Structure 1
Amino acid sequence: MKKKETEGDPNTEIGVLIKQSIAGDDKSFKTLYDRIAGKMYSLCLRYIKNQEDANDAFQDGCTRLYANLKNYRSDGVFEGWVRRIFVTTCLDHLKKKELQLVEIDEQAPVKSSDLSAVSRLELSDLFHKIKQLPDGQRVIFNLYMVEGYSHKEIAAMLNISESGSKSQFHRAKLSLKHILSNEQDAN
């Protein structure tokens, strides 16, 4: 049985680009950059409302990527590893801007009907709506729904309680429903 190749395998195209980038080949890093730049810039814009701050986070993410490329262990998908760097960079930028995550003690049950209107949106429309959420709600919604982190992981990343993450997520869903209903009423 043939071993499945991972993207970071030195014999794959990405593996070769990573190896050459680590060795100082700027052209190889530029090729890697071109492959991930659009997705990572969009990620930064989802987390950070202000375009100037999103640009800063994106540039910092690229710098961190370059500096940490030698730490990629090629045991997973390269883009997923890059994504984690950019998410962490965005969270660091938000912390510098003193993002306030309000701890809410209430346990908010998640109802499947809460996102029914959201599920009918086009992806680009959804990202536009997410940008309208308050900072804390937007960050947790992105981390949970878009990036796929658990509430336990989010709590650890943001230094809040797991129930705080869940309640912020619940409030984000309610806020999205409110945004959507206001737009429907306006039409």
Structure 2
Amino acid sequence: MLKVVVTGPLAVGKTTFVSTVSEIKSRHTEERMTQAGALVDQLDGYRADGEAAKTHTTVGTDFGRLTLDERMVLYLFGSPGQQRFRVLWDDLVRGALGVLVLVDTSRLEAAFEVMDMVEAADVPYAVGVNRFPTSPVHSLGSVRAALDLSPGTPLISVDARDRDECLDALIAMTRHVLAPLESV
């Protein structure tokens, strides 16, 4: 069993990513967003897939599974994106092989808090730039500079609705995690 955490700011595509790549019907702890939460869940006009307004949010974790071979299974855990659910983070990341951080180019500044949290957990990670139809297109080099990523941190362009691209992101993250072990 290998555990991977998919994280990122609110409304960046974590639930979609887990659903897309999971071989089982993924499990979610989503609830309808309410006016009471509007004070803390800053969406600022965000539109999911460029169309409908976001109406639900993850309040616990998403869960999916991907069998790699007869001996290895990858368990995917999607984290909630809001600060108020950060209390789950330590338990969620404990024992993780690595973390995939999803970001959106229209809201890169929202990724800084999440990146700090991932780096503080001292878990290897990769970053996936989730492509939304309404987000500005930037080169991976400019995204790397904006996020102040080290040259060794994998940075991948991904569409969280495309299974092959999600698998490519997981492969890049896994290669990054396993690279230090290959030199031993």
Same fold? TM cut 0.5: no
More helix by share: 1
Larger-gyration structure (1/2):
1
More strand by share: 2
Using CA pairs under 8 Å that are at least 6 residues apart, name the structure with larger relative contact order, 1 or 2: 2
Q: TM-score, normalised to structure 1's length?
A: 0.29
